[in-house]
Chain A
C-alpha cells in the first residue's frame, strides 16, 4: 500500500518553480501536476476558466485506464498520452510511476517543443519527489510527525465538519 503524500512548503515551492518554468519554456496554456489517484498537486498558467479538480480526476482515470490496457498487452505502462483537438491539445505523461504531468497547449506551441520541455521538467520533478519521499520517511523515523496538527484532531472537530 502506498503511503500518504505529504507536501511541505519547501518542496511545493520547488515544484511550483519547475511548473512555471515548463509553462514558459513550452509556451503552454496550462500546466498541471496530478497525483496518480486524481488529486491536483500544483498548476501553472491560465487555470482560472478550467475546472482543475475535475480535470485532475479525469486525467488520473485516463492514465489508469491506459495503464490497464498496457498490462493487458504485456507492457509495463504507456508513459505518454497525447490528445489533439481543434484548438487545444493535451500532453499527459507519467513521471516516476507516481505523478502525472499535464500540459495543455495551442498553436502557439508544438508537440515537439512540449515533448522536449516535458522531458527536462520530468527529470527535475522526479528528483523533487524523491526528496519528498525521503523527507517523509526521515521525519517518520525521527518521530517529528508527532508535532503534526492532526494528532490533536478531536471528535468535536470532526463533528463540526458535518454541522
Chain B
C-alpha cells in the first residue's frame, strides 16, 4: 500500500526482502546503506539477536529523487528468515508494495528456498495479496560460492512465473542495486497503472 501525500508531495512505498535464513537479506540492505549518499538515506535499523540474526526486521528508508514534483521514498524491510519466526514474518508483509525474494544458491539450501517461497505465498495470501500480482523480483544470491546450483535449475524450481531475476553476491554488492532498481521500477509502474 503506497502512501501518497499531496500536502508534502511525497510518495512512500514499501519493499520487503524475503527468503530463507542466512540467504543474505540483511546483507543486501547493508550494502545499499553503505553505498547510498547520506542525504538519500535514513538510519539502518536492525532488530537482531546477539548473534546478529534478524529477530523482527531490518529497516532502511531511501529517498530516490523526484517524479513530477513528488519525492519518491522507498522503505526497505527484511523479514527474519529462520523458520520459527513465522509469526513475526507475517507482520512485516503488511502493506507491502513490492517483494524481493533472495534465494540461497547453495545446492543444500534448495529445500529451504522452496519452503520459504511457499511460506511467502501463504503469508501474502493471509494479508489478501497474491504473489503473482505483486511487483516481484528474485535474486539468486551467493553465486560466488563453489557449491551452487545451476541457474536453469533454480529458475525452474523457484521462478515458475518467469519474473525478473538477478545473480547476486550481496557481500560484495554484485546484483544488489540491479535487484532493488528492478523491483522499485515495477512498483512505480504499478502505481502509474492505478492512478
Contact = CB atoms under 8 A, between A and B. Distances in A.
Contacts of A149: 68-70
A86 interface: no
A1 B59 contact: no
Contact of B4 (A4, A68, A160): A4
B155 to A, nearest CB: 25
Contacts, number: 124
A68 B43 contact: no
Interface residues of A, number: 40
Contacts of A2: 1, 95, 128
A69 B144 CA distance: 41
Interface stretch (A73-81, A102-110, A122-130, A150-158): A150-158
Interface residues on B, range: 35 or more
Contacts of A3: 1
A160 B65 contact: yes
B45 A68 contact: no
Given A2-B1, A4-B3, A9-B6, A36 B95 contact: yes
Of the candidates B2, B59, B181, B195, the one having the most CB atoms from chain A within 10 angstroms of its own CB is B195
Contact of B6 (A12, A51, A58): A12
B3 A35 contact: yes
A4 B7 contact: no
B45 to A, nearest CB: 5
A153 B1 contact: no
Contacts of A61: 47, 56-57, 91-92
Contact of A12 (B5, B47, B75): B5
Interface string A5-27: 11111001100000000000000
A9 to B, nearest CB: 5
B94 A64 contact: yes
Given A5-B4, A37-B94, A64-B91, A158 B189 contact: yes
A153 B42 CA distance: 26
A64 B17 CA distance: 18
Nearest to A62: B56
B88 A37 contact: no
Contact of A13 (B7, B95, B128): B7
B182 to A, nearest CB: 10
B82 interface: no
B68 A161 contact: no
Given A8-B7, A9-B6, A158-B185, A150 B192 contact: yes
B48 interface: no
Contacts of B171: none
A156 to B, nearest CB: 10
A8 B94 CA distance: 23
Nearest to A35: B3
26 contacts: A2-B128, A5-B2, A5-B4, A7-B3, A9-B7, A12-B8, A39-B14, A51-B43, A53-B42, A53-B43, A54-B61, A57-B45, A57-B61, A61-B47, A61-B56, A65-B56, A149-B68, A149-B70, A150-B192, A150-B195, A151-B195, A153-B67, A153-B192, A158-B67, A158-B185, A161-B184
Report the 5 A-B pairs with minimum CB-CB distance, sorted nearest first.
A37-B95, A12-B7, A64-B91, A150-B195, A148-B195
